């Protein structure tokens, strides 16, 4: 019997194909990256049909790290509900899908969050005509909420804590949320504050909507991979860190070539001039150079997708570098 | 020549052998699936087990007409809320689809060209457009209704908006229980009167006004009692307070969309089944009953329908099963049924996909088998009784 079981185990192993994601990706020739069904600023097709956004850049950065080519990525859309099964089953190699890092997802679901690419918090958006100025005035309101999210749980906690009632209208995607909110089926839409800004920017008249001041939760959003494949986890983690470190060191997509002859040791290490950090990751030695060259540093990606000059108008806030009043911090590159 | 496959030439042995082989292969396959699944779950560090059912859900479900649900309740309660919501839309949908389907099936056979064409168009349209689209269509129409602050007011007591239909809620005061007892007693006695009248008619040919006497018993008697007791019933009217109406009864657009789409879609199939059933009764039956002077309505009720039912009921059963299973599309409009609530939100919050799906599937299976069981009993009762 034991022998039979072990035969099954071997066969079963053959069916579960995640021995080494990095090798799988290299063999396939492109990266499969799970993103949202469309959230402007994070991942949404732009005017030319190209995926753009902070999360889309994260996917591209990993593709650049592996292949040196930002186009070697297939974007796969996932809903709040389908994202985890999609990752667990190997349909995608990684998720960059404004997903909150929580203990249960990290531990119980068998995933590994490799970092944070956006520090967010849950907020509320209402029509300005309602004259509401605080979330505690929302007693009896109908709230649109995406199911299967941490925001759903925070919402229940917040109203319970404040002893006020609400009626939840469960929706699946951000688009459904918009539709119901704009039609007046719900009074309030709650999701991460960044998502609210994105939704507001998409409204025909953004001034008709206000985001309430309360931020009721911590939502560290970051890319995640399957637990147990540490090599692949390292590749994704350091692709993100490379962008953050590049900002710290003042390396941008424009000056990266000039920086190759810098005299700062960490710059030379990051760009692969000194040391063999690329080989340690089983990547080419100029992987970080390519990320910065083709995608840019964290700040460039932020300003282009969600920053104050975009329709989302989100100030850096918590997402500024630790040296500039934020909490964005990457371990040293050495 | 006797071959050394002696056993195989024995038909009985051969059939047992192959049946055992098939069962064995099936069991082996099942074993393989189970071991592979548990092996992979373990490898991906996904915890399994049923203990999550006792954990607090942490989220709220607003549409729960039968059970009060709070976010501190367990996932098990999410399951029960889901089952009740699934049953609610399935049962009301089946009743409406049956009534509508019977009417349309008969109208389709009408000699009125326009009526029968209209039903034909209806049937072809709703049978050939995917149900999911119909659900979404109804929902899109419903959320285009006026906003809650501009609700349409009907008869001063009903309010219609895209938040649903608000109506007064009856509040039963002490003494109303006597009225309900009277109604139950009236129902039982009209049933007994019906049986007695039938027997008497069989014996003597005399008829008894069963219908009007039953109406009298069921409606008039409790009504008199109701006024004698001093009208022990009041209404709580919905009132616009803050964001929403407070108080009153509300029927949500999610439910209405599901109910309309399911019953209209299934009614199209049922009307075709009814039409087929009626047409299966030979023309001679109708002509013969007309020849002995029966009224048109009697011909339908006493001669045609009872014979048609034998043909109608078996496919009707499968329409009921379809409707119940189709109610799982509630997720498209956020109707908190079993699949959306327990098989969706709970699954996603706990990550226990296999457990949740197994429970949901077992539940649908039990509901379907229960429907089949009762419909089979009914089917047997309407079959020809050879005498």
The three-point CA angle B209-B212-B215 to 5° equals 140
Candidates 2.160.10.10, 1.10.3720.10, 3.90.550.10, 3.30.2350.10; CATH matching B75-149+252-382: 1.10.3720.10
A112 vs B: CB within 8 A: no
| Nearest chain A Cα distance for residue B306, angstroms | 46
A80 vs B: CB within 8 A: yes
What chain A holds in terms of domains, given with CATH numbers, is: 18-119+221-324 (3.40.190.10), 122-217 (3.40.190.10)
Inter-chain contact B345–A148, Cβ cutoff 8 Å? Answer: yes
Two structure tokens written together for B286? 């109708």
């039609």: which residue's tokens?
Answer: A183
* The predicted structure's pLDDT at residue B238: 81
Terminal-residue alpha carbon distance, chain A:
51
Interface of B with A in 137-156 (CB under 8 A): 143-144, 147-148
pLDDT band at B4 (very low <50, low <70, confident <90, very high): low
pLDDT at A3 over 70: no
Indicate the pTM of the whole model.
0.78
Which residues of chain B neighbour A159 with C-beta distances below 8 Å? 60
* DSSP symbols for B252-289: -HHHHHHHHHHHHHHHHHHHHHHHHHHHHS-HHHHHHH
* The predicted structure's pLDDT at residue A14: 43
* The predicted structure's pLDDT at residue B265: 96
pLDDT tens, position by position, B49-102: 788 888 888 888 888 888 888 888 999 999 999 999 999 999 999 999 999 999
Which residues of chain B neighbour A154 with C-beta distances below 8 Å? none
Q: How many CB pairs under 8 A join A and B?
A: 122
Three-state DSSP state, B38: helix
* The predicted structure's pLDDT at residue A151: 87
Inter-chain contact A5–B35, Cβ cutoff 8 Å? Answer: yes
ipTM for the complex?
0.73
Rounded-to-integer distance, Cα A209 and Cα A147, Å: 23
Q: Is the dihedral of CA A246, A94, B45, B51 positive or negative?
A: positive
Inter-chain contact B44–A228, Cβ cutoff 8 Å? Answer: yes
Q: SS3 letters for A31-95?
A: EEEEECCCECCCEEECCCCCEECHHHHHHHHHHHHHHCCCCCEEEEECCCCCHHHHHHCCCCCEE
In terms of DSSP H, where are the helices of chain B? 11-43, 75-108, 113-128, 131-142, 176-204, 210-215, 221-228, 253-280, 283-291, 296-298, 305-326, 338-340, 347-350, 353-382
B357 vs A: CB within 8 A: no
In terms of DSSP H, where are the helices of B300-352? 305-326, 338-340, 347-350
Rounded average pLDDT over A273-302: 93
* The predicted structure's pLDDT at residue B2: 52
The chain A residue lying nearest B44, using CA atoms, is A110
| Nearest chain B Cα distance for residue A293, angstroms | 36
Inter-chain contact A169–B62, Cβ cutoff 8 Å? Answer: yes
Inter-chain contact B340–A170, Cβ cutoff 8 Å? Answer: yes
Interface of A with B in 145-174 (CB under 8 A): 147-148, 152-153, 155-157, 159-160, 166-172
pLDDT tens, position by position, A205-246: 888 898 888 888 998 999 999 988 999 999 999 999 999 999
The answer to whether the CB of A293 falls within 8 A of the CB of A281 is: no
* The predicted structure's pLDDT at residue A5: 47
* The predicted structure's pLDDT at residue B387: 61
pLDDT at A10 over 50: no
Rounded-to-integer distance, Cα A123 and Cα A103, Å: 21
A103 vs B: CB within 8 A: no
The chain B residue lying nearest A90, using CA atoms, is B44
The answer to whether the CB of B186 falls within 8 A of the CB of B221 is: yes
Q: SS3 letters for chain A?
A: CHHHHHHHHHHHHHHCCCCCHHHHHHHHCCEEEEECCCECCCEEECCCCCEECHHHHHHHHHHHHHHCCCCCEEEEECCCCCHHHHHHCCCCCEECCCCECCHHHHHHCCEEECCCCEEECEEEEEEHHHCCCCHHHCCCEEEEEECCCHHHHHHHHHHHHCCCCEEEEEECCHHHHHHHHHHCCCCEEEEEHHHHHHHHHHCCCHHHEEECCCCCCCEEECCEEECCCHHHHHHHHHHHHHHHHHHHCCCCCCCHHHHCCCCCHHHHHHCCCCCCHHHHCCCCCCHHHHHHHHCCCHHHHHHHHCCCCCCCCCCCHHHCEHHHCCCECCCCCC
Which of A43-52, A325-334, B64-73, B261-270 comes out lowest in average pLDDT?
B64-73
Inter-chain contact A81–B344, Cβ cutoff 8 Å? Answer: yes
**% of residues, chain B, pLDDT over 70:** 97
B34, B47, B52, B59: best mutation site toward chain A, by most A Cβ within 10 Å?
B59
> A220 forms bridges with which residues in the sheet?
A119
Which of A228-237, A321-330, B54-63, B132-141 comes out lowest in average pLDDT?
B54-63
Which residues of chain B neighbour A107 with C-beta distances below 8 Å? 45
Three-state DSSP state, B65: coil
pLDDT band at A18 (very low <50, low <70, confident <90, very high): very low
* The predicted structure's pLDDT at residue B186: 86
The three-point CA angle A312-A220-B61 to 5° equals 90
Name the residue ranges covered by the structural domains of chain B: 75-149+252-382
Inter-chain contact A170–B348, Cβ cutoff 8 Å? Answer: no
Which residues of chain A neighbour B56 with C-beta distances below 8 Å? none
* The predicted structure's pLDDT at residue A82: 83
| Nearest chain B Cα distance for residue A151, angstroms | 9
The chain A residue lying nearest B162, using CA atoms, is A185
Give me the phi and psi of B183, to 5 degrees please.
-65, -45
* The predicted structure's pLDDT at residue A15: 43
Inter-chain contact B58–A153, Cβ cutoff 8 Å? Answer: yes
Q: Which of A174, A159, A171 is nearest to B143 (CA)?
A: A171
Contacts of A254 (CB under 8 A, 6+ apart): none
Average pLDDT, chain A: 88
Rounded-to-integer distance, Cα B178 and Cα A221, Å: 61
Our CA dihedral for A284, A288, A291, A297, rounded to 10 degrees, sits at 180
Inter-chain contact B60–A85, Cβ cutoff 8 Å? Answer: no
Average pLDDT, chain B: 87
Rounded-to-integer distance, Cα B313 and Cα B298, Å: 21
pLDDT tens, position by position, B23-52: 999 999 999 998 888 887 777 666 677 888
**% of residues, chain B, pLDDT over 90:** 42
Inter-chain contact B60–A156, Cβ cutoff 8 Å? Answer: yes
Inter-chain contact A185–B331, Cβ cutoff 8 Å? Answer: no
Highest-confidence segment of A56-70, B139-153, B222-236: A56-70
Contacts of A11 (CB under 8 A, 6+ apart): B32, B36
B244 vs A: CB within 8 A: yes
pLDDT at A287 over 50: yes
Which residues of chain A neighbour B32 with C-beta distances below 8 Å? 8, 11
B334, B349, B350: best mutation site toward chain A, by most A Cβ within 10 Å?
B334
pLDDT band at A11 (very low <50, low <70, confident <90, very high): very low
Higher-confidence position of B208 and B341: B341
| Nearest chain B Cα distance for residue A71, angstroms | 30
Interface of B with A in 11-50 (CB under 8 A): 31-32, 35-36, 39-40, 43-47
Inter-chain contact A9–B345, Cβ cutoff 8 Å? Answer: no
Two structure tokens written together for A239? 């692709």
* The predicted structure's pLDDT at residue B3: 54
pLDDT at A100 over 70: yes
Higher-confidence position of B182 and A239: A239
Which residues of chain A neighbour B331 with C-beta distances below 8 Å? 172
pLDDT band at A19 (very low <50, low <70, confident <90, very high): low
């Amino acid at each position: 019997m034991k022998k039979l079981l072990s035969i099954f185990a071997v066969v079963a192993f053959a069916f579960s194909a995640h021995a080494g994601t990095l090798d799988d990706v290299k063999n396939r020739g492109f990266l499969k990256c799970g993103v949202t069904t469309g959230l402007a600023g994070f991942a949404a097709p732009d005017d030319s049909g190209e995926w753009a956004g902070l999360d889309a850049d994260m996917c591209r950065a990993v593709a650049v790290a592996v292949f040196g080519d930002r186009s070697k990525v297939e974007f796969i859309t996932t809903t709040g509900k389908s994202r985890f099964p999609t990752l667990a089953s190997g349909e995608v190699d990684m998720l960059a899908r404004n997903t909150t890092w929580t203990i249960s997802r990290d531990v119980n679901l068998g995933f590994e969050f490799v970092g944070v690419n956006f520090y967010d918090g849950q907020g509320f958006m209402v029509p300005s005509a309602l004259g509401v100025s605080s979330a505690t005035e929302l007693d009896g309101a109908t709230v649109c909420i995406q199911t299967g999210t941490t925001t759903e749980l925070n919402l229940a906690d917040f109203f319970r804590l404040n002893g006020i009632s609400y009626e939840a209208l469960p929706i699946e995607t951000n688009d459904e949320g918009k539709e119901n909110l704009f039609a007046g089926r719900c009074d309030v839409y709650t999701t991460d504050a960044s998502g609210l800004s994105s939704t507001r920017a998409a409204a025909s008249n953004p001034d008709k909507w206000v985001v309430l001041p309360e931020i009721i939760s911590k939502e560290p959003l970051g890319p995640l991979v399957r637990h147990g494949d540490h090599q692949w986890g390292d590749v994704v983690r350091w692709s993100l860190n490379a962008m953050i470190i590049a900002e710290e060191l003042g390396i941008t997509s424009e000056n990266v070539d000039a920086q190759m002859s810098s005299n700062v040791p960490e710059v030379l290490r990051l760009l692969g001039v000194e040391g063999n950090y690329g080989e340690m990751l089983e990547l080419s030695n100029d992987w970080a150079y390519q990320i910065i060259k083709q995608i840019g540093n964290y700040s460039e990606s932020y300003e282009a997708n969600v920053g104050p000059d975009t329709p989302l108008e989100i100030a850096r806030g918590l997402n500024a570098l630790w040296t500039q009043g934020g909490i964005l911090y990457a371990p040293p590159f050495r | 020549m006797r071959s050394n496959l002696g056993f195989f030439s024995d038909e009985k042995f051969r059939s047992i052998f192959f049946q055992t082989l098939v069962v064995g292969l099936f069991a082996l396959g099942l074993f393989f699936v189970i071991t592979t699944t548990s092996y992979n779950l373990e490898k991906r560090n996904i915890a399994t087990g049923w203990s999550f059912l006792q954990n607090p859900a942490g989220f709220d479900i607003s549409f729960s007409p039968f059970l009060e649900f709070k976010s501190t309740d367990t996932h098990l309660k999410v399951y029960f809320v889901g089952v009740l919501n699934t049953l609610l839309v399935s049962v009301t949908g089946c009743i409406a689809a049956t009534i509508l389907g019977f009417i349309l099936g008969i109208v389709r056979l009408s000699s009125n060209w326009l009526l029968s064409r209209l039903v034909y168009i209806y049937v072809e349209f709703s049978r050939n457009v995917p149900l999911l689209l119909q659900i979404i269509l109804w929902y899109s129409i419903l959320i285009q209704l006026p906003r809650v602050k501009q609700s349409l007011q009907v008869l001063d007591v009903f309010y219609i908006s895209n938040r649903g239909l608000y109506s007064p809620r009856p509040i039963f005061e002490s003494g109303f229980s006597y009225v309900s007892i009277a109604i139950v007693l009236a129902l039982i006695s009209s049933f007994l009167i019906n049986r007695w009248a039938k027997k008497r008619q069989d014996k003597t040919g005399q008829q008894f006004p069963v219908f009007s006497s039953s109406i009298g018993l069921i409606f008039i008697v409790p009504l008199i009692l109701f006024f004698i007791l001093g009208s022990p019933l009041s209404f709580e009217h919905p009132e616009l307070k803050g964001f929403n109406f407070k108080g009153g009864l509300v029927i949500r657009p999610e439910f209405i969309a599901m109910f309309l789409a399911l019953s209209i879609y299934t009614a199209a199939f049922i009307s075709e089944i009814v039409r087929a059933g009626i047409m299966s009764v030979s023309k001679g039956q109708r002509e013969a009953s007309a020849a002995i002077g029966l009224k048109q309505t009697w011909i339908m009720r006493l001669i045609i329908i009872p014979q048609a039912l034998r043909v109608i009921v078996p496919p009707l059963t499968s329409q009921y099963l379809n409707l119940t299973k189709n109610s799982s599309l509630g997720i498209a409009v956020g109707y908190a049924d079993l699949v959306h609530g327990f098989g969706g939100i709970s699954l996603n919050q706990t990550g226990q996909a296999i457990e949740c799906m197994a429970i949901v599937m077992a539940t649908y299976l039990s509901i379907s088998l229960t429907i089949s069981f009762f419909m089979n009993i009914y089917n047997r009762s309407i079959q020809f009784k050879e005498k």
